[in-house]
Amino acid sequence: MDASTTARRLGRATVLAVAVALAVTACTSGGGGSADNVAKSEPPRQDSQDINAKSPDQIKDGGEVRFQLDQWISQWNPLQVDGGSYTDTVNLIRAVEPTLFRTDASGTFQADPNFLVDAKVTSTSPQVVTYRLNPKAKWSDGKPLSYLDFKADWQTSNGKDPAYNGYDPSGYELISAVEQGADPTEVKVTFSQPYADWQNLFRPLIPAAGISTPDDFNKGWVEKIPITAGAFKIGTADKTAQTLTLVPDPAWWGPRAKLDKITFRAMNKAASIQAYLNNEIDLASAGTATAYGQLKDNKDTVIRAASPWDEVHISFGGTGALADQKVRQALGKSLDRSALIKIANNGVPVEFKPLGNHIIMPNQAGYQDNSGDWAKFDPAAAKKLLDEAGWQDAGSGQPRTKDGKPLELHWVLSDGTPQAQLDLATAAAAMWQQVGVKVDLDKVAANDFFAKYITPGKFDIASWRNTDSFPNSKSLANFRLPVGDNTFSNPSRLGTPEIDELLKKASGTVDPVEAAKLYNQADAKIWELGHTVELYQRPAVVAVRKGLANYGAFGLAEEDYSKVGWEK
């Protein structure tokens, strides 16, 4: 089961992808003890998605689809740190703002002809990307899309002006110039050094008129979207009812959206199951035993599954006792990941396999397991590391001590955490107790989990999901050393210059094979750092109303709300 929070791509890619649904999911309604009698399928392969794909002529005109939101969205600017950190924000803003490229099921970028006639690298020394814009593309204020929008997005997101509280400078910080090309529909973007994932920039493109000043950038998108340019626009936004609607924009120049309305209601995952059963929403997560058990036999329901960029991990803070790398390494070696994963996988119809990489998912090219001995269950080695760190064994399951202080840590959990997550956390705490580490489970208000604890780094141990940290260059924000007050998508604040350099070098390596080697070198260092213990890639398992077309489990692909509708 999910709690109500998942960090976004913590990039969307990570961002600190990246949505928000608390991580380690799990098991049975009463706890983790019952036998798992659900047949498991292999995790979906790389290029798979399960969305009931239909052509426009097979879909009815009109109708409504109803979805759940993990939480109410207050900050709508995806370039701003509070907006970019949550997957829901980015997914929805792409429905109403230009998305120049979309990913297909294999994770490959495809240009959207509604916004781009063409985009390609036109020079390699220096790297220059030339975009040719669709001349029909216009903002809701009547202005055409232009180089000014690209320039504004670059200048507010490159991290050089601290007045703009940007989310992730990856890629933008490597741009040296944005200029108009041969005519107003052409944009030339010049890079100071090569950047392989340039197609991931400006997606979505945010209008210059909406972010022209720091105040506009940081506050002008709170509880509103001032300017749009997409197949949909905001219909209603009722914060009291926690309900948001998207409706077709009559000014849209592309193929008209099939639906008359898409309705989103903010509610936690547990509530969404009952809402689906009550026919109040048309899709619900079935990725836990309780959810799958309740949803799989529901009338007019089909279960769909695919493997997105979505990982579940346990993160360590970087202060107090955990400022010592050996202590963090000891915590990693104390965990029996297979046992924890079994708790999470109990009753779910897709097999969860141990994840050995922080950057590349098993269904991506270049994946390799770099966990080595750092994720190997070895309590004896963990005890030795704690001895070396000066924490003396107190025996009898008592916490170790150093300078008269006990080794007592705190695992911060949202009060919306389901019992299954508590079971997993309790199991991990018991494992740590065996090596002399006392871990208390501290519940905090769900709405405070990220804002007051994770993002400010006020935790010893915590668990959440990073979603959409794709393409791989987005991983830099998750593991990057802070710059001043900017912690990027790395709330633990743990990192090294070597990791930063490897990730930056990888992001500038155009050859995907060579880039993968660099990413894997960085990943091995992240494991050694004791930054995060990866558990598993979380498959998307969803219950969907029969007849819903072009929506469900997308894998590495990106949803396109304009194509969603009901089969004829």
Q: Is the pLDDT of residue 13 over 70?
A: no
Burial class (CB in 10 A: 0-12, 13-18, 19+), 404: exposed
Is the residue at 122 inside a domain?
yes
3-state secondary structure 276-288: HHCCCCCEEECCC
pLDDT at 447: 83
User: Among 11-20, 185-194, 536-545, 556-565, where is mean pLDDT lowest?
Assistant: 11-20
Is the residue at 134 inside a domain?
yes
Give strand pairing partners of 198.
Answer: none
pLDDT at 31: 34
Is the residue at 90 inside a domain?
no
Is the residue at 115 inside a domain?
yes
Is the residue at 147 inside a domain?
yes
pLDDT at 134: 98
Residue with tokens 């070396």: 388
- Answer whether 0.85 is exceeded by the pTM: no
pLDDT at 384: 98
CATH number, residue 146: 3.90.76.10
pLDDT at 48: 83
pLDDT at 42: 80
Q: What is the arithmetic mean of pLDDT over 327-340? A: 98
User: Among 26-40, 240-254, 267-281, where is mean pLDDT lowest?
Assistant: 26-40
Confidence of residue 426 (pLDDT cuts 50, 70, 90): very high
Q: Which domain holds residue 175?
A: 101-219
Q: Is the pLDDT of residue 45 over 90?
A: no
Q: By the 8 A CB rule, do 301 and 546 touch? A: yes
Give the chain's radius of gyration (CA, Å). Answer: 23
Q: What is the pLDDT of residues 144-164, one digit of tens each?
A: 999 999 999 999 999 999 999
Give strand pairing partners of 144.
Answer: 138
Q: What is the pLDDT of residues 70-103, one digit of tens each?
A: 889 999 999 998 888 777 888 899 999 999 999 9
Residue 48 identity (one-letter amino acid) = S
Q: What is the arithmetic mean of pLDDT over 267-278? A: 93
Is the residue at 124 inside a domain?
yes
Q: What is the arithmetic mean of pLDDT over 327-334? A: 98
Q: By the 8 A CB rule, do 210 and 220 touch? A: yes
User: Among 10-19, 92-101, 307-316, where is mean pLDDT lowest?
Assistant: 10-19
Q: Is the pLDDT of residue 548 over 90?
A: yes
Choose between 416 and 115: higher pLDDT: 115
User: Among 235-244, 274-283, 414-423, where is mean pLDDT lowest?
Assistant: 414-423
Q: How many domains does the chain have?
A: 1
Is the residue at 214 inside a domain?
yes
pLDDT at 255: 96
pLDDT at 35: 57
DSSP 138-198: B-TTSPBP-HHHHHHHHHHHSSS-TTS-BS--TTGGGEEEEEE-SSTTEEEEEESS--TTG
Q: What is the pLDDT of residues 448-504, one digit of tens each?
A: 998 899 999 999 999 998 888 889 998 999 999 999 888 888 999 999 999 999 999
Q: What is the arithmetic mean of pLDDT over 437-455? A: 94
Smallest Cα–Cα separation from 73: which of 268, 231, 237, 219?
237
pLDDT at 421: 82
Is the residue at 298 inside a domain?
no
pLDDT at 403: 96
Q: Is the pLDDT of residue 22 over 70?
A: no
Element (H, E) at 43: none
Q: What is the pLDDT of residues 171-212, one digit of tens each?
A: 999 999 999 999 999 999 999 999 999 999 999 999 999 999
Choose between 2 and 94: higher pLDDT: 94
> What sign results for the dihedral spanned by CA atoms 190, 100, 198, 211?
positive
pLDDT at 138: 98
Half-sphere exposure of 455 (CA within 13 A, CB side): 26
Choose between 237 and 28: higher pLDDT: 237
Average pLDDT, rounded, for the chain: 91
Q: Is the pLDDT of residue 9 over 60?
A: no
